[in-house]
Amino acid sequence: MSSLCMRGGRDIAPEKALDCVFGYAIGLDMTRRDLQGEAKKFGRPWETGKSFEASAPCGPLQAASDIGHPTEGAIWLKVNGEIRQGGDLNQMIWKVPDMIGYLSGLFELRAGDLIFAGTPAGVGAVKRGDEMHGHVTSIGDIHFKVA
């Protein structure tokens, strides 16, 4: 890891970006459409629809030094045992180095920051009690029940 990335950075060149990645984890970027819709209706920021408690569950972090920087492999989400979303990491429109380069132009990135990306088609509503199981090949799995 470069010294720049150990302390964070701005305007990180994509060709240096992977030096800034400690690791990868599977996470689900949940949205409360009720809060988002209410905010839209009143012309308010949508942030509450994305930043509610437990809105971004994450699985264990896998160090890039152990697994490398995955660029292909299955990515899927099951809801109550049925596939809801499915794809492959190689289908991502923005690659990790490009995301880091772009985002570091808008924000100072720091150790511990999480960047969520890679949502396959099939986004849909879930309800209290639904069983969620997400998977990314070589990164791992996450299981939880919607509370």
Q: What is the value of pTM for the model shown?
A: 0.85
* CATH code, domain carrying 96: 3.90.850.10
Q: Could you give the number of structural domains in the chain?
A: 1
User: Which stretches of the chain drop beneath a pLDDT of 50?
Assistant: 1-4
Q: What is the pLDDT of residues 116-136, one digit of tens each?
A: 997 888 888 899 999 999 999
pLDDT at residue 71, rounded to an integer: 96
Rounded CA separation 48/125 (Å):
17
State which residues form the domain around 75. 3-145
pLDDT at residue 3, rounded to an integer: 42
